[in-house]
Structure 1
Amino acid sequence: MAKKGQTFNHYPHELKTEAIRLNVDEGWTYRRIMEHLGISDRHRFKIWMRKYKQLGEFGLMD
């Protein structure tokens, strides 16, 4: 749940597609991708993967 005054990270579409590409095409682990690209929330990355598997490239658009 969001707290008053909390700020949220916004990740650009290019970063999302690069993270998906590294996982799907290159076989990188979630942890390695998160460290390499500076993604702070593992749960957020799992959501991107689920949306990509369901909707393809369109699932990553905001």
Structure 2
Amino acid sequence: MGESKRRYPAEVKREVLRLKWEEGWSNRSLMDAFGIKNVSQIKQWARWVQNGEEHRLRQPVGKQYTYGKGPQDSEIDRLRQQVEYYEMKEALRGKYQELERRWPRKSSSPSSSSTGKRIR
């Protein structure tokens, strides 16, 4: 049978990237030293860190977090996301109010008031 997916702790992933960037280890030597089967794995970890997604180093194998659903790195990150949410909410509120101003106003015509029915 085929071998199951290999799990690497976040500390190992960080150490691999440190050795690669700070000490100049080659991908081949890192693969041999840590038992990594494919160079694309190292490249993926590096891409996550370079894109500011270091929290993905801690995610379980096969688990892909959608934006904002994964573990947070810090309270500051959580607060940044909250600020972005409220800024977006405020922008949408302003757009809604602008649209509402453009809507035709309800007018009270003599025919509607005499029959007692409201025109919508």
Instruction: Normalising by structure 1, report the TM-score.
Output: 0.78
Residues 45/55 of structure 1: CA separation in 2 closer, same or farther (3 Å cut): same
Cross-structure match for 2:69: none
- Structure with bigger gyration radius: 2
- What 5-or-longer segments of structure 2 have no aligned partner? 60-120
C-alpha RMSD of the superposition: 1.7
Task: For residue 61 of structure 1, report the CA deviation from its aligned partner.
Answer: 2.1
**Which range is displaced more, 20-29 or 52-61?**
52-61
Q: Compared with structure 1, are the counterparts of its residues 36 and 6 closer, same or farther at alpha carbon in structure 2 (3 Å cutoff)? A: closer
**By how many angstroms is 1:6 displaced?**
6.0
Mind listing any 5+ residue stretches in structure 1 that lack a counterpart?
Answer: none
Counterpart position of 1:15: 12
Q: Which moved more, 1:15-24 or 1:48-57?
A: 48-57
Task: Tell me what 1:45 maps to.
Answer: 42
What secondary structure is seen at the aligned counterpart in 1 of 2:5?
coil
Query: Which gives a bigger RCO, structure 1 or 2 (Cα 8 Å, sep 6+)?
Result: 1
The match for 1:36 is 33
TM-score (norm 2): 0.43
Aligned residues: 58
